[in-house]
Amino acid sequence: MDIDLITNILYAMIRTGTPLLIVALGEMVCEKSGVLNLGQEGMMLMGAVAGFIATWLTGNLFFGFLMAIVAGVLMSQLFAMIALGLNANQVATGLALTIFGTGLSAFIGSGFVGNPIEGLDVIAIPFLSEIPVIGKMLFAQDLIVYLSFVLFGVIFWFFRSSRTGLIVKAVGENPHAANAIGLPVMRTRYLAVAFGGAMAGLAGGYLSLAYTPLWAENMTSGRGWIALALVVFASWRTERILLGAYLFGLASILHLVAQGLGFAVSPNLLAMLPYIATVLVLVMMSRNQGQSKMYAPISLGKPFHAGT
């Protein structure tokens, strides 16, 4: 395996892992506040179709990404209105959101299937992008990849050092105690859900506007579910989400690597690796529920009633 092939594999790993990183970071913030939103797949698809249609009609990629984020936020607030405002079951509401988003995105985007657009250009940072192996991987990417690095750093700092991050964690651990000392529990949860929706919409927009600049039904291919498993796999830790996203990204492109190396392995079997890894992660976590509960927010998925 020559150095050029390794460089290209690492480059593709970062690009493939970027939407997983973005949506998983958003879901982690949401879950840290005590809200379990299983609607990531639906929000990503709505972000993907809204961003693509906006870009197709206006020719402006920035506007497309903005509309993708708006679509994700609107979908997330639909979830929040039902799950938080009406105290409905969060699991059932999230699943309904995914089904709704999948169907609505297919309906809205039916007239735009297969229409290509010009995606984001690569921005190569002078000198740094010429570093062997890691130069192309880290410093010759598009704008959203660079933004994902910034988002990771900000969220890492947010939970490690900021007062607002401590408030989010307090609300997720014990909302009644947080409410008793005057913390805005419901406002914090609504904002956390909105942020998760914005990140899911951005991740969906990245798929349709940069990664594969076109719209196709169900183009997320289960990435929303993988991101949900990734948050659990990472034990709700920001740095582990970064590592896990790129590992899943690498697993997603192994079938292309095997074909390039000439291995006589069915590409369909290798394409199953990310989903097999997701199932294995969930099985391992379910076998050690004590460890999982130790890291998970205590009030995750539990409704909050201010009067109780």
Residue 2: predicted pLDDT: 75
Residue 289: predicted pLDDT: 59
CA gap 209, 47 in Å, rounded: 10
* Tokens at 174, concatenated: 């014990």
Token pair 């130790």 in the structure block, residue: 294
Amino acid of residue 168 = V
Tell which residue, 160, 164, 168, has the closest CA to residue 35.
168
Residue 274: predicted pLDDT: 73
Residue 114: predicted pLDDT: 81
* Tokens at 261, concatenated: 């190396």
Residue 260: predicted pLDDT: 66
Show Cβ contacts of residue 255 under 8 Å, excluding neighbours closer than 6 positions.
265, 267, 268, 269, 270, 271, 273
Three-state DSSP string of the chain: CCHHHHHHHHHHHHHHHHHHHHHHHHHHHHHHCCCCCCCHHHHHHHHHHHHHHHHHHHCCHHHHHHHHHHHHHHHHHHHHHHHHHCCCCHHHHHHHHHHHHHHHHHHHCHHHECCCCCCCCCEECCCHHHCCCHHHHHHEECHHHHHHHHHHHHHHHHHHHCHHHHHHHHHHHCHHHHHHCCCCHHHHHHHHHHHHHHHHHHHHHHHHHHHCCCECCCCCCCHHHHHHHHHHHCCCCHHHHHHHHHHHHHHHCHHHHHHHHCCCCCHHHHHCHHHHHHHHHHHHHHHCHHHHHHHCCCCCCCCCCCCC
pTM of the model: 0.92
Rg (CA), the chain: 19
Domains located in the chain, CATH noted? 3-295 (1.10.3470)
Residue 272: predicted pLDDT: 76
* Tens place of pLDDT per residue across the chain (308 aa): 578 888 888 999 999 999 999 999 999 999 999 999 999 999 999 999 999 999 999 999 999 999 999 999 999 999 999 999 999 999 999 999 999 999 999 999 999 998 889 889 999 999 999 998 899 999 999 999 999 999 999 999 999 999 999 999 999 999 999 999 999 999 999 999 999 999 999 999 999 999 999 999 999 988 999 999 899 888 899 999 999 899 888 888 877 777 666 666 666 776 777 777 777 766 766 666 555 566 789 999 998 876 55
